[in-house]
């Protein structure tokens, strides 16, 4: 790692006017978002390829709702039905 380069860059960034520093941060965040989006797209492609391009039987949203409902039912039983058995 080039510590001297990193220190020099940090010094340059600290010396930037507020407006330019904000612009730099925006650029870096855009790069990170683009990189993350690209990784997600690659992962999605791998998953689709592994599944033989078949569509999911249930959408992620439907699955989340189903799991929440099941968990709510479990909690209701634990909280209210167990007390009746005493």
Q: Specify the pLDDT at position 13.
A: 92
Give dist(CA 17, CA 75) in Å, integer.
54
Higher pLDDT, 86 or 70: 70
Give dist(CA 61, CA 79) in Å, integer.
27
Token pair of 60, please? 């992620």
Instruction: Calculate mean pLDDT across residues 39-64.
Output: 88
25: Cα separation from own chain's centroid: 20
Q: Specify the pLDDT at position 84.
A: 59
Query: In which residue are the tokens 């330019």 written?
Result: 20
Give dist(CA 81, CA 85) in Å, integer.
7
């Amino acid at each position: 790692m080039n510590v001297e380069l990193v220190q020099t860059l940090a010094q340059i960034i600290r010396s930037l006017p507020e407006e330019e520093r904000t612009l730099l941060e925006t650029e870096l965040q855009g790069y990170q978002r683009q990189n993350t989006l690209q990784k997600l797209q690659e992962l999605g492609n791998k998953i689709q390829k592994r599944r033989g391009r078949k569509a999911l039987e249930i959408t992620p949203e439907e699955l989340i709702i189903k799991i929440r409902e099941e968990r709510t039912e479990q909690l209701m039983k634990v909280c209210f039905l167990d007390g009746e058995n005493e």
